[in-house]
């Protein structure tokens, strides 16, 4: 379904006078393959390049090198006449700024419908169905974004992305502003839709407990590169890279069973080390061996 081949993307670094002095390798040679109907989780450090990868898949950012293929075709190849937005939709990380403040919720949700020639007469009913799917009352269609709570905006963004039933849905922190019970309902919905319509998901999240239960395949990103990939059970059950182990060891949990599952990490001054400290420890140990 989706194939990323050796993707690279750098951003310029400026000095105090705004002049370019170097480059930050935000995405460093990332490859991955997502099978149709799969739920693929992407976890990793803040600033490790997850959203940049997502924006490249959406065609909002151009890779410096590497390829992005959907069903074997480059995303820039539009020769079959199917708009990119019909195949791929995204729920952005920041619901507050991804909704147009001057559009009502109903108008926002209808934008992709209009763009893809959905009959005007059926629009209100479709909008109501979509809002219902994300547990919002139909009356919310008349509201403006500033009248919504954080989680309500996030649900509008999910409804909008589902509107045209894309093949691939990129979810960048889709439920970070939702309480766990609404979150569970949204995840149920996404799972059901995935099964019914054969949707494929790329799921970016810092909520590893959620990822453990939702995604089937997982990749872990650290400083722009993938350090570990595998099935969710393998990555969470037997993490092999130090960074992944540290990540799982840091998950805040609510039960002793979960706490017991977290990998044991050598403590520094009684605290979990930072990723840099842990990796330095390992390198020192390797040198000794």
Ligand X SMILES: Nc1ncnc2c1ncn2[C@@H]1O[C@H](COP(=O)(O)OP(=O)(O)OP(=O)(O)O)[C@@H](O)[C@H]1O
Give the interface segment with Mg ion, choosing from 30-38, 46-54, 113-121, 220-228 (CB under 5 A). 46-54
> For residues 77-96, which are near other proteins according to CB under 8 A?
93-96
**H/E run at residue 53:** helix 50-57
CB of 84 to other proteins, least distance (A): 23
Binding mask 93-112 for ligand X (x = CB under 6 A): x-------------------
**H/E run at residue 211:** helix 208-214
Measured between alpha carbons, how far is 53 from 49 in angstroms, rounded to an integer?
6
One of 51, 108, 175, 244 touching ligand X (CB under 6 A): 51
> For residues 116-175, which are near other proteins according to CB under 8 A?
143, 147-152, 155, 173
Nearer to Mg ion, 66 or 96 (CB): 96
Can residue 155 be called a binding residue for ligand X (CB under 6 A)? no
CA atoms within 13 A on the CB side of 82: 12
* Contact predicate 208/188, CB 8 Å: no
Pairing verdict, β 168-172 and 200-204 = parallel
Nearest C-alpha neighbor of 202 from the set 10, 43, 13, 6: 43
CB of 97 to other proteins, least distance (A): 5
Nearer to ligand X, 116 or 241 (CB): 241
User: The dihedral of CA 150, 151, 156, 158: what is its sign?
Assistant: positive
CA distances from 113 to 59, 127, 260 (A): 20, 9, 48
Nearer to other proteins, 171 or 246 (CB): 246
Binding mask 131-160 for Mg ion (x = CB under 5 A): ------------------xx----------
What are the tokens at 106?
């109903």
Can residue 11 be called a binding residue for ligand X (CB under 6 A)? yes
Find where tokens 């370019």 sit.
20
Contact set with Mg ion (CB under 5 A): 51, 93, 149-150
Residues at the site binding ligand X, with contacts judged by CB under 6 A? 11, 24, 26, 44, 46-52, 93, 146-152, 177
């Amino acid at each position: 379904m989706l194939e990323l081949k050796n993707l690279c993307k750098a951003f310029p670094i400026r000095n105090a006078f705004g002049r370019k002095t170097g480059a930050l390798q935000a995405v460093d040679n990332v490859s991955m393959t997502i099978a149709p109907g799969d739920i693929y989780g992407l976890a990793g450090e803040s600033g490790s390049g997850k959203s940049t990868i997502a924006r490249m898949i959406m065609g909002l950012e151009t890779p410096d090198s590497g390829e992005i293929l959907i069903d074997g075709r480059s995303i820039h190849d539009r020769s079959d006449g199917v708009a990119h937005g019909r195949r791929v939709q995204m729920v952005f990380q920041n619901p507050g700024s991804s909704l147009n403040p001057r559009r009502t919720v109903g108008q926002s949700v209808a934008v992709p419908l209009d763009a893809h020639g959905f009959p005007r007469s059926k629009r209100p009913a479709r909008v109501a169905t979509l809002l219902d799917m994300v547990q919002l009352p139909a009356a919310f269609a008349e509201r403006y974004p500033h009248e919504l709570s954080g989680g309500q905006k996030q649900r509008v963004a999910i409804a909008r992305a589902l509107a045209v039933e894309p093949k691939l849905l990129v979810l960048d922190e889709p439920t970070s502003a939702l309480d766990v019970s609404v979150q569970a309902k949204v995840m149920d919905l996404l799972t059901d839709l995935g099964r019914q319509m054969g949707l494929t998901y790329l799921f970016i999240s810092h909520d590893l407990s959620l990822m453990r239960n939702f995604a089937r395949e997982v990749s872990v990103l650290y400083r722009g590169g993938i350090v570990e990939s595998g099935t969710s059970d393998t990555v969470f059950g037997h993490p092999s890279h130090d960074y992944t182990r540290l990540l799982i060891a840091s998950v805040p949990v609510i039960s002793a069973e979960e706490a017991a599952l977290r990998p044991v990490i050598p403590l520094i001054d009684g605290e979990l080390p930072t990723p840099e400290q842990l990796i330095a420890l390992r390198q020192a140990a390797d040198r000794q061996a």
